[in-house]
Amino acid sequence: MPTQACRQRVGHLAGRDSFANPGLALQRYLPQNGDEHAAAKALLDRVQASPASDVYKEAFQRYKAALPDPVQVPLELGGPLALGLGMSSPLEVGLTTLHTYGMPVIPGSAIKGVCSDYAEKLLDKKSEQFLALIGDQKNAGLCVFYDAWYVPEGDCKPFHRDVVTVHHPDYYQQRNNAWPTDFDDPNPVPFVVVKPGAKFLFAVKPPSPEWADFVRKLLIHAMTKHGVGGKVNAGYGWFKEPGGARTTVPGEQTAPTREETTQWSGCATQKRIEHKGGFAMVLRHDCGKVAVPQSEWSKLTATWTSEKRRAAEQGKLTVCASVQHIGGKMTVVAIKPEG
C-alpha cells in the first residue's frame, strides 16, 4: 500500500516535466512510497530530463574564475557516477548534489581520498613527500583539493536513471532465518546516477609550481585508474584519459576492461605473513608495489624450479612482472625470474 511521502502543498511546486533544482526534487518531491516504486520511477524520469539552469551556468563560470590558479583538469566520465549512495534519501539511494543548484558535484574530500589511496602506491605513507602533499590525521597536507563541479555543456542533462536489484531481501535482512534461493522475489530499486559522457572540472592547488606536473598526473591517474564513488568495481565512477578512451554504454554495469600490460623489470620480493596463516608476495618496483596472494603466486610460478621459487620467496631473486589495472587495482598477471 503506497504511503504519502511529501506534503500536498509542496507537490504542485515541483513542475510537470523537469526541475529547476533536481537535487531538491530528489530530497523533497517524492509524492509516494511503495513497493512497486512507480512514483520513484516517475520522479527519476523527470530528474533525468532536467537540464542545468542558467543560474547554475553563471555560478559555474564564477566558480571557475575564482579558483586561485590551481591545476585545472576537465575529465569526462567513461561510466556512470554513483556518489553518495549511502546518503539519507526518501528514494533509499542518495546522490551528492550542490545544495543551491541541484547539480552533481564531487566533494574535494572524496577526490583527496582517492588521490591518497593512489599516492600510497607511489610513495611511502610516512615519507616526507607524502605527508607534505597529502598529510595524515595529525597534519594537514599542503595540496588543496577543490570540489569538482559538473561542466554545463552539450545537452546539459547530467542525470540518468539506473536500477539496483535486491534478489534475496529476506536473506540480506536476516528475516525468518531465510536462505537465498531461486524462488525469492527480486526487488528492483530505482536510483539516479550521473550519466557517462558528463564532464567535471577538477582543481588542485599544489604547494608550489614545481609540484604542479606531479599533482596533475596523480589526479588523472587516480580518477582514470581508481575511480571515485560507489560501485567502482562494477564500472561506475571511472573517467576517460584526457584525449583517450575508456567508454561504456550508458547504463552498462560491466566491470572495466583490462588495459595494456605494463612490464615491471627489476622487482624485489618480500614475503608477508597474513592473519589467516597464508602469505602474500609483495613485489616492489620504482613505480609502486603490489601484493600477490599465495594462490596466485603458486599459479604464476608453477613452471619455476623449486630453487628459484624459494629464492624469490626469501627475497634473494630479482623478478620481472607484468602488471595490469583490473577492477581499479594493480594486478600481476605474469612473473618470471630475471637472469
Helix, coil or strand: residue 297: helix
Instruction: Provide the pairing of β-strand 105-106 with 148-150.
Output: antiparallel
What are the Cα distances from residue 69, in Å, to 129, 166, 204, 306? Answer: 22, 46, 9, 57
Which domains occur in the chain, in start order?
3-234 (no CATH), 262-337 (2.40.50)
Which residues lie closer than 8 Å to 263 by C-beta, 6 or more apart?
A: 320, 321, 322, 323
Alpha carbon 85 to chain centroid distance?
12
Query: pLDDT tens digit string along 100-127?
Result: 999 999 999 999 988 888 887 777 777 7
CA dist., res. 310 & res. 297, Å (int) = 12
Mean pLDDT per 10-residue interval, the chain, length 339 residues: 57 65 78 67 83 94 89 91 81 85 94 86 75 80 90 91 76 75 74 92 90 88 89 86 54 42 77 60 76 82 85 84 69 82
Contact predicate 62/122, CB 8 Å: no
Distance CA 285, CA 264 (A): 7
pTM higher than the cut 0.85: no
Q: Using an 8 Å Cβ cutoff, are 198 and 104 in contact?
A: yes
Separation between Cα atoms, residue 122 and residue 285, nearest integer Å: 9
**Cβ–Cβ < 8 Å for 219, 115:** yes
Q: Residues 281-326: pLDDT tens digits?
A: 888 776 667 888 877 888 888 888 888 888 888 888 888 888 876 6
- Pairwise CA distance, residues 316 & 328, whole Å: 30
Q: How many Å apart are CA 123 and CA 135, to the nearest integer?
A: 12
Beta bridge partners of 271: 281
